Amino acid sequence: MPAPTPANQNGPKPRVYLALEGGGAKGFAHVGALRAIEHHTEIEGMAGASAGAVVAALKSAGFTADDLINTKTRTTLLDWLKERDVVMRDATQFFGRLGWWRVRSLRAAFRLARGGGRSTVVILTATAVLSIGAAALLGPILAMAAAGVWLAVVFRAGRGLLSGLSSAGRFRTILDSALKLKLRGSLDGEAVTFAEMAAAGCTPLKVVATDLTAGRLRLFSAEDTPDIAVCDAVTASVCLPIVFSIWSFPLVDEGADHAFLDGGLVSNLPAWPFDEERTIDQRAVTLAVEIAEPEGASATSITRFNWPIAALRTSIFGASVLNKRAIGRLETLVLPSALGVLQFDAKLDAVVADVENAARAAEARLVKRVVHDPWTLREAAEAARRLTGWTLEQLPEVTRPRPDRSPRVRAAIAMFENADHRKTLKLSPCVGFEGDSDEEIVLPIEGSLVGKAWKDRVALFQALPFARELDLPGVQNDLRRRLIWKDMTWSLAIPILAGEGAGQGTPILAVVLDGDHILPDDVESFRSVLGQLAVAIQENVLDIAQEIG
């Protein structure tokens, strides 16, 4: 059976806040992910660093994934710009002819160092020593001259690397041209600012850069930096050390120039900038789009020669664990990419293949985690609610009739909200809550019925009066207790375990049922009925839970 799509679920598309990781030329893969995301979700906001900031800015301005790279027609944004008299042959022109030659030389040097490692260092050192030694045979003055030449070469190369191999000015011009043409239809006027994009109704955009002057992360957005040119913010974010020179421009509120480098140095996968919006819109999802390291890259053997590069890679890409500690639900799309970080001269065939591979990977993960799984869990909760309600209707002797209305049964799925959460469970999805204040509440494992069922790995039932130790005790739960449904008279928590045998395995999720039935003084008959229901629900939901994983 094919995975359901928003269209056949008869509901709105999931709302997402998108975070795009940096990665140089690997960022072409973001276009493939964007194609799937556009189809299945509503994008409420976009944040990015480095290459991710470029794609985020263009998408925010109104460009679609197919506008950026259309794999069917094999046209790109550069073709669109060329039709409007902004001529650029390929991405290498961002660097200029000399700059690109330097970047290619650096790329070749990296390959040589990675392939030769220690032997490369030994050969270069031996060459220097032998040349100085040969000169020494002809006299001390020639030896000193030879040593001076080598020192000058090393100094010049080092200074060149530290100052950057290319200016990002050409990139800034092209990006601003694209934004102007999309938003204004002409190239006239000053650069497009964050305020202008917000006034035009563009998707909210947030860009991360490293502010060297202030010594901290700088977040550009319509709220914080409305008068800053978007092209300046994105250019600052893409200035990878060594590859690009430092990018400087004045901040409006301070006047003085600030120097910036690549945003990936401080937050390469910024999943946190929309935390405040996620606090307001708690049903939205933070979608973090990562670019996978090549297979085996994470298992590199560390030596005295390659540890600086490994340390830099870890400081940038390893920080994604911290950067993804966003508020609320977070899903990650990991994209494959066969391109190198500096492979801006990749042929169109290779770029198209990267985009297609990323689109397939994103489609599969996105449909499963953001579309199919929530729909499946809601169906499971609804089935458990209907089964419980129908069973209790058939056994009126286990409850007392309500004089005012029919009793209600509610159901919810309890799970860890994020992969790094271990102390709380969130009830979501919820069915039958009818606007109750505890819908999608987050419950502590310590001090709640569902938490105890989770820890003990057994279904647990309680009826009024609820046990004090399971009724959200302590001052830390004061506000949470006020949200709990006041008419609840009973509750049942059923952990769903991955493993064989009763009480074995690890909980995947829990089904939580409750109701407002009027119970007799002796609730054992009611407890017995719910105990049998718990067994049936466990068996039916287990298959769903294992499918979801």
* H-only helix segments in 164-304: 169-183, 194-199, 230-238, 264-267, 275-280
The amino acid sitting at 501 is G
Percent of the chain scored above 90 by pLDDT?
60
3-class DSSP state of 463: strand
Return the higher-pLDDT residue of 162 and 449. Answer: 449
Please state, in angstroms and rounded to a whole number, the distance separating the CA atoms of residues 496 and 458. 9
The amino acid sitting at 331 is E
Adjacent-strand bridge partners of 494: 511
Q: What is the pLDDT of residues 172-210, one digit of tens each?
A: 999 999 999 999 999 999 999 999 999 999 999 999 999
Cβ-proximal residues to 475 (8 Å cutoff; 6+ apart), any chain: none
The amino acid sitting at 318 is G
3-class DSSP state of 448: strand
Confidence category of residue 318, pLDDT binned at 50, 70, 90: low
Please state, in angstroms and rounded to a whole number, the distance separating the CA atoms of residues 211 and 483. 43
- Is there a contact between 208 and 267 (Cβ–Cβ < 8 Å)? yes
Q: Which of 168, 188, 236 is nearest to 208 (CA)?
A: 236
Written out in words, the top-level CATH class of the domain with range 7-94+167-369 is: alpha beta
Please state, in angstroms and rounded to a whole number, the distance separating the CA atoms of residues 286 and 277. 10
Query: What do you get for the CA distance between the two ends of the chain, in Å?
Result: 18
Q: What is the pLDDT of residues 81-140, one digit of tens each?
A: 999 988 887 787 777 777 777 777 777 766 665 555 555 545 545 554 555 455 555 555
Burial class (CB in 10 A: 0-12, 13-18, 19+), 534: buried
Helix axes 230-238, 169-183, angle to 10 degrees: 140
**In the predicted structure, residue 283 carries a pLDDT above the cut 70:** yes
Catalytic residue flag (residue 50):
yes
Please state, in angstroms and rounded to a whole number, the distance separating the CA atoms of residues 120 and 191. 46
Two structure tokens written together for 99: 């700059």
Q: Rounded to 5 degrees, what are φ and ψ at 392?
A: -70, -30
Please state, in angstroms and rounded to a whole number, the distance separating the CA atoms of residues 354 and 76. 14
**In the predicted structure, residue 498 carries a pLDDT above the cut 60:** yes
**Taking the domains of the chain in order of start, what are their residue ranges?**
7-94+167-369, 97-163, 395-548
- Is there a contact between 177 and 192 (Cβ–Cβ < 8 Å)? no
**In the predicted structure, residue 147 carries a pLDDT above the cut 70:** no
* H-only helix segments in 138-239: 140-163, 169-183, 194-199, 230-238
**In the predicted structure, residue 353 carries a pLDDT above the cut 70:** yes
CATH architecture under which domain 395-548 falls? 2-Layer Sandwich (3.30)
Catalytic residue flag (residue 471):
no
**In the predicted structure, residue 526 carries a pLDDT above the cut 60:** yes
Structure confidence at residue 478 (pLDDT)? 96
Chain mean pLDDT for the chain: 84
Strands 205-211 and 42-49, sheet pairing: parallel
Structure confidence at residue 457 (pLDDT)? 95
Residues 515-534, mean pLDDT to the nearest whole number = 93
- Is there a contact between 210 and 151 (Cβ–Cβ < 8 Å)? no
Residues 334-343, mean pLDDT to the nearest whole number = 91
Please state, in angstroms and rounded to a whole number, the distance separating the CA atoms of residues 230 and 207. 9
Please state, in angstroms and rounded to a whole number, the distance separating the CA atoms of residues 542 and 286. 27
Q: Rounded to 5 degrees, what are φ and ψ at 31?
A: -65, -40
Q: What is the DSSP letter of 288?
A: E
Return the higher-pLDDT residue of 329 and 496. Answer: 496
Q: What is the pLDDT of residues 52-61, one digit of tens each?
A: 999 999 999 9
Q: What is the pLDDT of residues 361-378, one digit of tens each?
A: 999 999 988 888 999 999
**In the predicted structure, residue 398 carries a pLDDT above the cut 80:** yes
Catalytic residue among 176, 211, 232, 262: 262
Two structure tokens written together for 313: 């890679």
Structure confidence at residue 119 (pLDDT)? 53
Please state, in angstroms and rounded to a whole number, the distance separating the CA atoms of residues 193 and 382. 48
**In the predicted structure, residue 47 carries a pLDDT above the cut 80:** yes
Positive or negative, the CA dihedral 519, 525, 528, 530 is negative
Cβ-proximal residues to 440 (8 Å cutoff; 6+ apart), any chain: 282, 283, 426, 427, 428, 430
**In the predicted structure, residue 492 carries a pLDDT above the cut 90:** yes
Distances (CA, A) of 405 to 400, 434, 533: 12, 15, 24
Q: What is the pLDDT of residues 224-262, one digit of tens each?
A: 999 999 999 999 999 988 888 999 999 977 778 999 999
Catalytic residue among 50, 60, 177, 221: 50
Polymer length of the chain: 549
